[in-house]
Chains A and B, each alone.
Chain A
């Protein structure tokens, strides 16, 4: 039998570890499903108490959602909303992370930026929406700008905090080994930044989809918000609830298909630091040292 080359061995080992991480994440999904089942049970209880007109049954809503998903037009509506939310979210990530990193390295900038952020977060999204409608008219631009403004502060603050609270000892260590400022940003700053950034991104993504649907509904710009407005006008409660379910399902899909795997990849080392034990593939026993 020929020996496996070391490079292939390392590749197989890395692939195995990655597969085990994905497997663990999927297995962890059972807990999430249990939570969703609990919500469905409460929903069913509400339906039985208030009646089908006020609150349609979860099963009926699911059937309506599946019927909606069977038509290509619905997929176009969903894509429209997700593209707007995604574009606004990506814009907020680019702006927020770069400005947050700059502010994190410059305490004076952070002190200047904090009151501005308080003002931005203090203005309700609906007010930004009205302003955006006045400036840009109903359409993509209005939704995108509202989403961007809603998602930006949380991402900015997380990036700035990540950089601001970085381990100065590691910075000094890297400097002693000859790291330039760019090296330190790439090797240390960005890694520190990721720790608070991922929870902020999850929050911002949820906010982006919610604000996009709200902006579409109020600015009559189509998408899931537009479909919700039509259901409301037709007093079609099952369809309205089905669109809400579709919006939430889209958000969950985005979060668990994109953000969580990225987070798991960048935080593998945290598994090793869990206080309840090392969750890694078993290593061969170490031979005794002299």
Chain B
């Protein structure tokens, strides 16, 4: 089975300082991979390279489907466009005729529990959760084979975060897209991912990976809690997940 996204030997530097080096990662179709790592290790840079926003200094990315969607930490909605027009952006970019866009927009809006009357509102009129739902609907709109999530729920309160995680899990199960989910929250990774990949704290390669037992959406809170407690207390893979101060990096 061909991978939905392959990153090979990715390296990147900002102003002469190496941020990433020797990162190779594969995401299979229908698979949700959580990319965990401490703050400042280069996860977001890797997500931007995977999305094609940044060109890597070394290595290459292979996206056989040719297109991807992305959900950012802040929703990044066009302030002058209604929720419907924001969701329709990928459809517009891929040349879907205007008359066909509305039905698709309404379908993905239903999927993320946005109400029809929310669609005519501007981002300034939506709550934080509704904005993030709109951003998720936008990423789902044209059915991309790969969706990248760059710490999308970090700024949300715990209840809303759980609801959004469930939403992503349901959407991934329904639409069968491959997803690379950037997070530094192991609890979140354990809830939504098939596989958790951990980056080295200095961004030079991957520390390793593990598969939480069960499938996303089927793990109850007890199983997630048990996995996270075991991982943080005894697994060397996650030893540096929470203990790095990024300001001490050279």
Contacts and interface: CB of A to CB of B under 8 A. Distances in A.
A175 B48 CA distance: 10
A272 B122 CA distance: 7
A272 B121 CA distance: 8
Given A172-B48, A177-B93, A178-B67, A272 B125 contact: yes
Nearest to B89: A177
Pick the most buried of B72, B78, B94, B148: most chain A CB atoms within 10 A of its CB: B78
A186 to B, nearest CB: 10
What band does the interface of chain B fall in when counting residues whose beta carbon is under 8 Å from A? 20 to 34
A179 B70 CA distance: 13
B124 A272 contact: yes
B53 interface: yes
Interface in B223-248: none
A183 B118 CA distance: 26
A176 B115 contact: no
B23 interface: no
Contacts of B89: 174, 177, 187
B91 to A, nearest CB: 10
A269 B68 contact: no
Interface in B59-117: 67-70, 72, 74, 76, 78-81, 89-90, 92-94, 113, 115, 117
Interface stretch (A89-97, A255-263, A282-290): A282-290
Contacts of B148: 176
A124 to B, nearest CB: 38
A113 to B, nearest CB: 27
Contacts of B118: 286
Interface string A143-187: 000000000000000000000000001101111111100010001
Contacts of B51: 175-176
Interface residues of A, number: 28
A13 B120 CA distance: 11
Nearest to B69: A177
Contacts of A278: 125
Given A269-B81, A273-B79, A289-B113, A175 B122 contact: no
A266 B81 CA distance: 10
Contacts of A183: 93
Contacts, number: 71
Nearest to A286: B115
A269 B79 contact: yes
B78 A191 contact: yes
Nearest to B139: A177
B67 A191 contact: no
B214 interface: no
B180 to A, nearest CB: 12
B52 interface: yes
Nearest to A173: B76
B123 to A, nearest CB: 8
Contacts of B52: 175-176, 178
A179 B93 contact: yes
Contact of A283 (B69, B76, B92, B117): B117
A280 B117 CA distance: 13
A266 B117 CA distance: 22
Contacts of A284: 117
Interface of B: 48, 51-53, 67-70, 72, 74, 76, 78-81, 89-90, 92-94, 113, 115, 117-118, 120-122, 124-125, 138, 148
26 contacts: A169-B72, A172-B48, A172-B76, A173-B72, A175-B53, A176-B48, A176-B70, A177-B69, A177-B93, A177-B138, A178-B67, A178-B90, A178-B94, A191-B80, A267-B80, A269-B79, A269-B80, A269-B124, A272-B121, A272-B122, A273-B122, A273-B124, A284-B117, A286-B117, A287-B115, A289-B113
A-B pairs, 6 with minimum CB distance:
A273-B124, A176-B51, A176-B70, A272-B122, A173-B76, A269-B80
